[in-house]
Amino acid sequence: MFVKKMKKILTVLLMLFISSSVFAIEEYVSEIYKQIDTCFTAKDEKQLNKLLSANTTDKYYYLMENYTQKKIRRLIVNNEYDFAMEATLVVIENNLDNEEAVELYSLISDAYEIQQKHEAELERQRELEEARLQLEKEKQRGTVEKEYVAATKTSSGSVYVSGKETKLTSTNWKVAFGLADMAHLLDTASSISTFHYGVSADFRYEYTMENKTVMGADAFAGVQFLGIAKEDKLVPLLGDFDLAFKAAFPQISKNLFIRAGFDAIIAGKSNKASATEGVVGGLYSPYLGVKLERIPLGTMKLDFGAEWLAGHLFNKDVKVAAGGSLNVEFPFAELEKVKLNLNLGIRDRFFMKNSGMENRASIILAIGVENVVR
């Protein structure tokens, strides 16, 4: 009995010893693991090297090494290649025979190179996109024009910038169709005073440059083909065709245009000599002039101008030739991109001749279409 009891006691003591030894080992290794975790959290390769170097002779060093490599693999999964490479070098330096660590370092280097190429490509794409956007801004700079008064800060702290003039559209165009072009022809020498009905078309195009100088062109064509008068005093056809180039300078006025163009003023021939006697049959004239455009009158806009027709210098029967125009625009509808308006205008051509004077004045009723300037 005594022997059996002693065997049981020895067995229990042996088990307690082995158990205490195992627990001691696990507690020791666990403490090293915690220190390794701290090194990886702080990404401190020097402290990691110091920790592994101090335990290279420990019989459980392989556990510490394996745990470190496990932490390195987790870094690879998270694409944290910089510290993964540094930690792998620490493992290799402390155990040159660790072939797994060498292979791991090679794997990390390849993955890191691929990541660098990918990041470089992303950076190149970003730079290309920035260059494209910058080029687009440069293209739009010519179409964007803004003037602001000084910013005003309110008592609440809000800052407001009020626009003195904001223009986002660089081009302005307008087409007017004269549904009724009523002309009066007066010639004092031949006592002709006749009325004529016709149609007309008017076109305007302007481009605002970056320095706010406005360049453009005007075109006009009008034909009166129906006359109201006695047959022996009736000119069968009147026509006026005008093309001009113009410019407005911000230093002077954005509404005042200097114009230079060419005007063809014609009158048809009649079988009865008395009908066209003394009437200027054709004056083809370059000209210079000025014109004020889009002068605001409430919701209406006013245009008026005058021209000197140089064609009289080449016509022996005409001493002086001049022209003038006036138009009032009444807006009545605005869509997203165009607006409609009613135009009531007067167009006049005056000739001082060797004998008497001749005047051609038209009243024009037209429907206009123009782009919306934002």
Could you tell me the pLDDT band of residue 357, with boundaries at 50, 70 and 90? very high
- Residue 14's pLDDT is what? 47
Could you tell me the pLDDT band of residue 210, with boundaries at 50, 70 and 90? confident
The mean per-residue pLDDT over the stretch 104-110 comes to 82
Element (H, E) at 130: helix 99-141
Cα–chain center distance at 1: 105
- Residue 177's pLDDT is what? 97
Q: Which residue has the tokens 């169709």?
A: 177
Cα(120)–Cα(233) distance, integer angstroms: 87
Could you tell me the pLDDT band of residue 78, with boundaries at 50, 70 and 90? confident
- Residue 27's pLDDT is what? 81
Q: Which residue has the higher pLDDT, 7 or 205?
A: 205
Q: Which residue has the tokens 């195009």?
A: 205
273: pLDDT strictly greater than 80? no
Q: Which residue has the higher pLDDT, 276 or 159?
A: 276
283: pLDDT strictly greater than 60? yes
Q: Are 317 and 323 in contact (CB under 8 A)?
A: no
What tokens were used for 230?
């006695």
Do the bridges between strand 318-334 and strand 338-353 make them parallel or antiparallel, or are there none, so unpaired? antiparallel
Grouping H, G, I as helix, E, B as strand and the rest as coil, residue 167 is strand
* pLDDT, tens digit (0-9, with 9 covering 90-100), for 44-57: 888 888 888 888 88
234: pLDDT strictly greater than 90? no
Identify the DSSP state of 142.
T
Could you tell me the pTM of the whole model?
0.56
Q: Which residue has the tokens 């163009």?
A: 261
The candidate with the shortest Cα–Cα distance to 307, out of 346, 265, 350, is: 350
Do the bridges between strand 300-309 and strand 152-153 make them parallel or antiparallel, or are there none, so unpaired? unpaired
Residue 233's Cβ-count burial label (10 Å; 0-12, 13-18, 19+) is buried
| Residues 6+ away with beta carbon under 8 Å from 28 | 60
Q: Are 285 and 262 in contact (CB under 8 A)?
A: yes
Identify the DSSP state of 193.
E
Q: What percent of the chain has pLDDT over 90?
A: 39
Cα(84)–Cα(115) distance, integer angstroms: 14
82: pLDDT strictly greater than 90? no
Residue 8's Cβ-count burial label (10 Å; 0-12, 13-18, 19+) is exposed
142: pLDDT strictly greater than 80? no
- Residue 345's pLDDT is what? 97
Grouping H, G, I as helix, E, B as strand and the rest as coil, residue 43 is coil
Could you tell me the pLDDT band of residue 98, with boundaries at 50, 70 and 90? confident
74-88, 255-269, 274-288, 297-311: which has the minimum mean pLDDT?
274-288
Cα(267)–Cα(275) distance, integer angstroms: 11
Cα(290)–Cα(249) distance, integer angstroms: 12
The mean per-residue pLDDT over the stretch 138-154 comes to 53
- Residue 7's pLDDT is what? 53
Cα(199)–Cα(182) distance, integer angstroms: 8
* pLDDT, tens digit (0-9, with 9 covering 90-100), for 314-323: 888 899 999 9
